[in-house]
Copies of this chain bind each other. A is one copy, B any other.
Amino acid sequence: MSSKHQISTLFLTIFFLLILGCFASPRKNIRSRRPCKEMVFYFHDILYNGKNFKNATAAIVGAPAWGNNTILANNNHFGNVVVFDDPITLDNNLHSPPVGRAQGFYIYDKKEIFTAWLGFSFVFNSTAHKGSINFAGADPLMNKRRDISVIGGTGDFFMTRGIATIMTDSFEGEVYFRLRVDIKFYECW
């Protein structure tokens, strides 16, 4: 009887510990800061400047009262809205075969220095990847590394969430920008 009692006590203790562990301390414990998936891509932005229509992958579509849609505005381009459809490559070569398209917009959003806000998707439709990854966030683009959010995904990236670290890999004047993106998914399904 004493043995059984001991066992029952042990039982109940473990039972309540598990209940506590699984349910009460809601989700912190079951979350890992180790990514469940990692990917690195480059994308290439060629901004329309009135003379490069054929090669351009991006265009100014909004500007403040003191600007226009052909040339980036004064005051660190504050208020310029740019729409883009940029090729995504696996390495830093603009002429590598694109594996997808980066599509969306950025907005220059500060008078005093260059900063931007991004809303865009990586769209894949190849044997390697099908589906899309959706991003949003602030891009203080003078910083070497900037983190934005992966806010969702579809297809191969169904319901993912994570962090994308953006680095300016190269730029030429105000026409060509090459960005490196390190994507770390922390929610995979």
> Do residues A60 and B64 form an inter-chain contact, with CB atoms below 8 A?
yes
> Do residues B69 and A59 form an inter-chain contact, with CB atoms below 8 A?
no
> Do residues A31 and B27 form an inter-chain contact, with CB atoms below 8 A?
yes
> Do residues B65 and A83 form an inter-chain contact, with CB atoms below 8 A?
no
B residues in contact with A81, CB < 8 Å? 61-62, 81, 83, 105
A189 contacts which of B33, B69, B103 (Cβ < 8 Å)? B33
Interface size range on A against B: 35 or more
> Do residues B59 and A79 form an inter-chain contact, with CB atoms below 8 A?
yes
B residues in contact with A79, CB < 8 Å? 59, 61, 83
A106 to chain B, nearest CB (A): 11
> Do residues B147 and A155 form an inter-chain contact, with CB atoms below 8 A?
yes
B residues in contact with A121, CB < 8 Å? 117, 137-138
Task: Say if the beta carbon of A142 comes within 8 Å of chain B.
Answer: no
Kindly supply a per-residue 1/0 record for chain A positions 147-158, scoring 1 wherever the CB is within 8 Å of any chain B CB and 0 otherwise.
111111111001
